[in-house]
Amino acid sequence: MEFSINSTGPEKSRGACLIVGVLQSRELTAAGNAIDRASGGYLRAIMARGDMDGKLGATLMLHNVPNIAAERVMLVGLGSADELDDRRYRGATRAAMHALAATGTAGALSWLTEAPVRRRDGAWKVMHAAAIAADSDYRFTRMKSKADDCAGALKKLELHAGERALDGARKALRQAAAVAHGAALTKDLGNLPSNVCTPSYLAAEARALAKSHKLTVQVLEKKDMEKLGMGALLAVAQGSAEPPKLISLQYRGAAKSQAPVVLVGKGVTFDTGGISLKPPAEMDEMKYDMCGAASVLGTLRAVAELKLRINVVGLIPTTENMPGGRAIKPGDVVKTLSGQTVEILNTDAEGRLILCDALTYAERFKPAAVIDIATLTGACVIALGHVAAGLFANDDALARELLAAGETTFDRAWHMPLWEDYQDSLGSNFADFANIGGRPAGSITAACYLSRFTKNYKWAHLDIAGVAWKSGKEKGATGRPVPLLTQFLANRAANHRR
């Protein structure tokens, strides 16, 4: 979909569909008033009849509105003005996109961006309108034999911004478009089945991305990992017929002397649990166990498109987790790249095993900060549901930066504790420590495990198990946390320059 900014009045606009907001008090927004005036009170008459009361998310499509050049006018309920917050604005925008998709309209012009959202400016509203439009337009059709007939008809969306807000709006739109492109890549990779999206496939995708977006790429093979001593990553991979890879991608947007942010993404292309086999119900969703990796690729794509003045490294340890004749077994002890030994008490806690070696490897980039992104624990889904990612960090300032980026983009994370008290549960009689704690605080003990490999730099961990994909009827990857990560990096790039 193509986006642009428009600052002409609604009564003069031609387009196929004008989208305007209505508040709960049956009050029109400025664009609504302009259309109402031009049409001789047509909108007010409809509202007086009770066909549109401004309830949040209600939509009403009008055709042939008198004296209006556009073919259609869609009224969208915004609810009451004092309650209009981020979530409600996004909900109304999503409802509008949904209603629009049902029509086959090819072009639309939205004035929802003038809705009085509390504490938010025009640029923010433009960014979110575009983000939601792109998200609702996304379809995954690559594995269908016939083209999907309902696939997004909307080709062009113009968003209104006042003359004085034009620069901010254009900038916000540029970021939203880059994030949408990145998130679409993340969704595509997540939605691909594991028989297509293997570790080798991810490596090929990384190479393609490097080529199209001028990144440097390097792929370590199994023999390289053996030479380095990545015993934990290799242990997970040994049960699979697919060869593991450690992908690194470098984006250079600032001076070589500037320390990079390293993003480490869990890339388990299918997690059966290994010998600690998972139950069959919903196991298909374990194709999404590489969404951390996919979000790293998506974020790099967005960062490169935006040409952010910052250095970023993407690091992706990728393998399958399979049971098999050569697979690791509970009780096996392996030596990690850090030199620390681990007793693998549960082969289904494989994410932390592949991440720990990548996190040690990350030291060689002399990072300003390292952020790992992983569909790490079912326990995180129990704790935070599908709303927020779990955020853990050994540095409070870094945690605050990530939380703020999540708030801005509505791609939220929640700060979880990493207190020493939780470390004890990882004890082992046979190795330096075990790869699991008990059932209590499962997302925290997983983060505690990772913290033992991240002592030498500022580090944050995002457990995205609850937010990376949706289950049920709307099953599909969400593209999260590409918006959060891109915003975080954009903020950093802006601050460096000052």
Q: Between the CA of residue 199 and those of 121, 322, 474, what are the distances in Å? A: 43, 13, 26
Ranges within 259-298 binding Zn ion (CB under 5 A):
268, 271, 289
Structure-block tokens of residue 167: 């620069």
Length of the chain: 498
CA distance linking residue 125 with residue 127, whole number of Å: 5
CA distance linking residue 291 with residue 496, whole number of Å: 29
What DSSP character marks residue 376? -
Does position 271 interact with Mn ion (CB under 5 A)? The reply is: yes
Does position 481 interact with ligand BES (CB under 6 A)? The reply is: no
Output 180 or 275, the one with its CB closest to Mn ion. Answer: 275
Residue nearest to Zn ion (CB): 271
Does position 320 interact with Mn ion (CB under 5 A)? The reply is: no
Do 105 and 16 meet the contact criterion of CB atoms below 8 Å apart? Answer: yes
Output 42 or 449, the one with its CB closest to ligand BES. Answer: 449
* Binding mask of the shown chain, residues 341 to 370, with x at each position contacting Mn ion by CB under 5 A: -------x-x--------------------
Determine how β-strand 413-415 pairs with β-strand 459-463.
Answer: unpaired
**CB 465 → ligand BES: shortest distance, Å?**
4
Q: Could you say which of Zn ion, Mn ion, ligand BES, none residue 378 binds, taking C-beta under 5 to 8 angstroms by partner kind?
A: ligand BES
Planar angle of CA 334, 338, 344, nearest 5 degrees = 25
Output 339 or 440, the one with its CB closest to ligand BES. Answer: 440
Q: Could you say which of ligand BES, Zn ion, Mn ion, none residue 465 binds, taking C-beta under 5 to 8 angstroms by partner kind?
A: ligand BES
What DSSP character marks residue 441? T
Active-site residues, by number, are: 278, 352
User: Sign of dihedral through CA atoms 249, 254, 257, 258?
Assistant: negative
Does position 378 interact with ligand BES (CB under 6 A)? The reply is: yes
Question: Considering only 63-71, 327-335, 342-350, 363-371, which stretch makes contact with ligand BES by CB under 6 A?
Answer: 342-350
Output 158 or 289, the one with its CB closest to Zn ion. Answer: 289
Structure-block tokens of residue 41: 């009170």
Beta bridge partners of 314: 249, 263
Q: Could you say which of ligand BES, Zn ion, Mn ion, none residue 110 binds, taking C-beta under 5 to 8 angstroms by partner kind?
A: none
Does position 463 interact with Mn ion (CB under 5 A)? The reply is: no
Nearby residues of 292 by Cβ (< 8 Å), 6 or more positions away: 264, 265, 266, 267, 372, 373, 374, 375, 462, 464, 468
Does position 271 interact with ligand BES (CB under 6 A)? The reply is: yes
Residue whose tokens read 């198990």: 465
Q: Could you say which of Mn ion, Zn ion, ligand BES, none residue 91 binds, taking C-beta under 5 to 8 angstroms by partner kind?
A: none
How many chain residues touch ligand BES (CB under 6 A)? 16
Q: Summarize as ranges the residues that interact with ligand BES (CB under 6 A).
A: 271, 289, 346, 348-351, 375-379, 381, 436, 442, 465
